[in-house]
Amino acid sequence: MKDFNKEHSEQEFNNDKNTNEMETVQEESTIKEEMNNEPEKIVINEEVKKESTTPPQQRKPKSGKSKGWMKTISAGVIGSVLTLSILPFTDYPEWINQPTNQTEQAISSAKDTGPVKVQQTSTATSNLADMVEKALPAIVGVVNIQQAQQNNFFLPQEGQQGQRGQQGNSSDEGVETGSGSGVIFKKDNKYAYIVTNNHVIENATEIEISLESGEKTKAQLIGTDALSDLAVLTIDAKYAKSTLSFGDSSALRVGEQVAAIGNPLGLDFSRSVTQGIISALDRSVSVSTSAGEWAMNVLQTDAAINAGNSGGALLNTAGQVIGINSLKISQNGVEGLGFAIPSNDVVPIINEIIKNGKVDRPYVGIGLASLDEIPSYYLQNLPQNVEGGVMVTSVDQNSAAGKAGLQVQDVIVSINGQDVKSSTEFRKYLYTNLKVGDKATLKIYRQGSLKTVSLTLTSNSGPTS
């Protein structure tokens, strides 16, 4: 009975073994078929899987584990010693020593004795509040004071004898006639230089500067240029805590953020800040100046610019001056149309003013008026095909025009072959394309006849061209 059970158990074991072997063979066969039918990426994944599941006993054991740790620690110690030994004698690259805040480069208290330069426009590395805080000390208030005669009721009238034997009926007293803004842009050992608009200080007998600290001081006028609407003043260098540099206005793009700083509506709102964007580049705006009609090249911005902002700074986000705020269009229903003189136009003008006290422009010696400003009575002899031009309204007899024989009521229709239809176009061509000493050829109509007049341009200043 025992033998039968043993034999029977062995037989069942063998049958089970055979069955298991057959099932294993079938499974392997099935796996091979599936592997052959699977796409290539599955095969790659299978290979990665196999490599990652290598039995631990087949991997080579790591030897010297403690020695490896000791080597790592030793290498770290040696490296630290070498670094501390060599570092003090290493020449650093230039960029390590450069300031990390480019706003500080734009706003400097360094003394500069050379001509003003336009700097490469940089990108802001600080927020707007930081930039404004650094810029504010370089923004000043500019007050135009003029002499005005006022009756003094406590003095005798003209011709009457006073108690002390004095005569007179008036006294001269300085009266504030307007105010604007200015920017300290340069400083040397003696003076700090301020740029503002010409119309802010025009006809002033005295100019007062209001500083961020609350101090006030008198300014000296270096020179002005009515056409560009710029003027340069100086104050004692001790009042200037910092200066602002000029950025490159030609690198501006429409949509860039800007900030305007000035004194809108007077000193009660001194150093007010408004923010906006560059709305347009290279706008041409016709303005009336004491030197005649002029087409001013300006930047357009929607940053609020009000009366009193004139002469203030239009800043990029790096704190560089990219424009001098000058004018705005003020009409009912019109908002956000402010204009600034581009920094690339400002810099050569203020450098010339500092050097010569004025801007040296070619001088013809005539007063001009566009034909649309002239009554038709004076245009009766002008041919019907003449569509535009400028009439001579006055002639300086000692000028190039006087010597060349130009006369009042001559109508100029071209200069050096360039047609001119207004006094603005004439001045624009004259001041943009010609210089002192150049020859100019004018086509004119006199009593209905076309004539040619040639002259050599001289240098002078005045309200005539």
310 is catalytic: yes
DSSP assignment of 135-176, as one string? HGGGEEEEEEEEEEEEE-TTSPPTTPPPTTS---SEEEEEEE
Q: Which two tokens stand for residue 298?
A: 């300006």
Which one from 310, 343, 370, 465 is the annotated catalytic residue? 310
Q: Enumerate the β-bridge partners of residue 244.
A: 107
199 is catalytic: yes
Q: Which two tokens stand for residue 266?
A: 């007077």
8 is catalytic: no
Task: Give the CA distances from residue 124 to residues 102, 130, 135, 302, in Å, rounded to whole numbers and listed in that order.
Answer: 6, 10, 13, 20
Residue with structure tokens 């229903």?
333
Sign of CA dihedral 147, 153, 154, 160: positive
Which one from 225, 229, 248, 396 is the annotated catalytic residue? 229
Helix (H) or strand (E) holding 211: none
Q: In angstroms, rounded to a whole number, what is the distance separating the alpha carbons of residues 95 and 323?
A: 29
Q: In angstroms, rounded to a whole number, what is the distance separating the alpha carbons of residues 202 and 180?
A: 11
Amino acid at 66: S
Q: ∠ CA 236-240-241 to the nearest 5 degrees? A: 150
**Nearest residue to 350 (alpha-carbon basis) of 229, 201, 448:** 229
Query: What phi-psi label fits residue 205: left (phi over 0), alpha (psi between -120 and 50 degrees) or beta?
Result: alpha
Which one from 122, 179, 199, 245 is the annotated catalytic residue? 199
Q: In angstroms, rounded to a whole number, what is the distance separating the alpha carbons of residues 360 and 341?
A: 19
Q: In angstroms, rounded to a whole number, what is the distance separating the alpha carbons of residues 367 and 173?
A: 35
Q: In angstroms, rounded to a whole number, what is the distance separating the alpha carbons of residues 378 and 371?
A: 10
Q: In angstroms, rounded to a whole number, what is the distance separating the alpha carbons of residues 337 and 280?
A: 10
CB 246 within 8 A of CB 116: yes
What single-letter DSSP state applies at residue 238?
A: G
Q: Which residues are catalytic?
A: 199, 229, 310
